[in-house]
């Protein structure tokens, strides 16, 4: 894959940063001229992964969350990384409606949202070491075509 | 996050604005629950015209309030959703248990129509 551009964000594990992270990644991805729907998909998926790092990965607000975004000709590749608790069983965690925090009124739909809105979602996690979620979104360039045709 | 709220008989109509993510979910949950403390409320309509973003944290908030309304034998309706919201609600199964309407007026008619 031919990487054309790349950026990295690092921020404390505080919930205020959820909005910052999704808006920053979406602004960077805008270079590929995505549709409004593709931008909304990216924002939502980033929000899910970053929220998970903050509330499940870490149990205090003073740890670092890392987000790396790369752009190739036709795709956005996003990695959200925490060095927190990690997961014992990733397959179970990815099941729709599974949540380890029902007391927080979590819906257990975060991974399902990421899988539905992105084209690829890979999760690497080890207990006590942390979690890396890697997501890929293909950008259709439909917007370009309509502009050219119209 | 909660803009206006008004009553029409036993229906509570609440407007939400901004972005409903994990950071804002506790605030929205607590504000809705304070309003729902009034036992004369049976139905709730959320006007989401000014809600610009929601992730799965919002699903949890809606599910929790749905339970309260359902226990009272009422209807939980939402009005004015954008396409991002529609897709989140669809994938979570909320589309099947909440009533989705284009406008608040239609949501009111829907509730009136069913309780007659
Ligand atoms: N970064 C992470 N670190 C540790 N555990 C995680 C992480 N992300 C997700 N999980 C686990 O996976 C479960 C499912 O995540 P998700 O589908 O987003 O649902 P929710 O956030 O509503 O619990 C979480 O409840 C948690 O147990
Ligand atoms: Mg989650």
The answer to whether A48 is a known catalytic residue is: yes
Number of independent structural domains in chain B: 1
CB pairs A-B closer than 8 Å: 64
For residue A115, what pLDDT is reported?
A: 97
Q: A129 in helix, strand or coil? A: coil
Region B93-106 average pLDDT = 93
Q: Quick one: what percent of chain A has pLDDT higher than 90?
A: 90
CA of B48 to the centre of ligand 1 (A): 27
Which of A20-24, A121-125, B62-66, B111-115 shows the lowest per-residue confidence on average (mean pLDDT)? B111-115
The answer to whether A134 is a known catalytic residue is: no
Distant-in-sequence, close-in-space partners of A66: CB < 8 Å, separation ≥ 6: A8, A9, A10, A79, A80, A81, A82
Catalytic one among A79, A106, A124, A134?
A106
What would the two tokens of residue A103 be? 């007391």
Q: Which chain B residues contact residue A18 at CB under 8 A?
A: 21-23
- The minimum-distance atom of ligand 1 relative to the CA of A51 is 21
For residue B95, what pLDDT is reported?
A: 87
How many other C-beta atoms are found inside a 10 Å radius of the C-beta of residue B108?
Answer: 19
For residue A144, what pLDDT is reported?
A: 56
Tell the residue nearest (CA) to atom 2 of ligand 1. Answer: A57
Does B91 lie at the interface with A, CB-CB under 8 angstroms? yes
Inform me whether the pLDDT recorded for A8 exceeds 50.
yes
Does B106 lie at the interface with A, CB-CB under 8 angstroms? no
Contact A109 B59 (CB under 8 A): yes
Task: Say which residue the tokens 């539905």 belong to.
Answer: A116
CATH number of the domain encompassing residue B33: 3.30.750.24
Region A5-17 average pLDDT = 98
Give B1-38 pLDDT, tens digit per residue.
999 999 999 999 999 999 999 999 999 999 999 999 99
CATH class of the domain whose range is A5-149:
alpha beta
Helix locations, B5-82, DSSP H: 22-36, 56-71
Give A40-97 pLDDT, tens digit per residue.
999 999 999 999 999 999 999 999 999 999 999 999 999 999 999 999 999 999 999 9
Structural domain of residue B76, as residue ranges?
2-115
For residue A150, what pLDDT is reported?
A: 37
For residue A149, what pLDDT is reported?
A: 46
Mean pLDDT of the residues in chain B? 95
Helices (H) and strands (E) in chain B, counts: 5, 5
CA of B22 to the centre of ligand 1 (A): 13
What would the two tokens of residue B47 be? 């006007």
**Pairing label, strands B2-8, B11-20:** antiparallel
> What pTM does this model have?
0.95
Chain A residues 16-55 with CB within 8 Å of chain B? 16, 18-19, 37, 40, 43-44, 47-48, 51, 54-55
Distant-in-sequence, close-in-space partners of A128: CB < 8 Å, separation ≥ 6: A85, A86
Tell the residue nearest (CA) to atom 9 of ligand 1. Answer: A52
């Amino acid at each position: 894959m031919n990487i054309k551009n790349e950026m990295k964000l690092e921020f404390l594990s505080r919930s205020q940063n959820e909005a910052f992270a999704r808006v920053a990644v979406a602004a960077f991805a805008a270079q590929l001229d995505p549709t409004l729907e593709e931008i909304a998909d990216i924002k939502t998926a980033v929000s899910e992964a970053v929220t998970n790092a903050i509330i499940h990965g870490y149990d205090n607000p003073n740890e670092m969350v890392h987000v790396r975004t790369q752009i190739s000709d036709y795709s956005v590749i996003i990695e959200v990384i925490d060095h927190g608790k990690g997961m014992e069983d990733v397959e179970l965690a990815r099941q729709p409606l599974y949540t380890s925090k029902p007391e927080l009124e979590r819906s257990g739909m975060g991974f399902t949202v990421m899988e539905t809105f992105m084209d690829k979602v890979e999760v690497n996690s080890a207990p006590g070491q942390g979690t890396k979620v890697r997501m890929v979104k293909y950008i259709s360039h439909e917007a370009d075509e309509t502009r050219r045709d119209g | 996050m909660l803009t206006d709220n008004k009553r029409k008989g036993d229906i509570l109509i609440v407007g939400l604005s901004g972005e409903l993510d994990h950071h804002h979910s506790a605030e929205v949950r607590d504000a809705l629950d304070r309003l729902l403390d009034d036992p004369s409320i049976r139905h709730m309509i959320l006007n989401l015209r000014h809600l610009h973003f929601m992730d799965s944290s919002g699903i949890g908030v809606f599910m929790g309030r749905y339970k309260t309304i359902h226990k009272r034998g009422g209807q939980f309706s939402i009005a004015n959703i954008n396409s991002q919201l529609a897709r989140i609600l669809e994938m979570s199964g909320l589309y099947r248990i909440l009533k989705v309407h284009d406008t608040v007026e239609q949501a009111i008619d829907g509730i009136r129509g069913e309780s007659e």
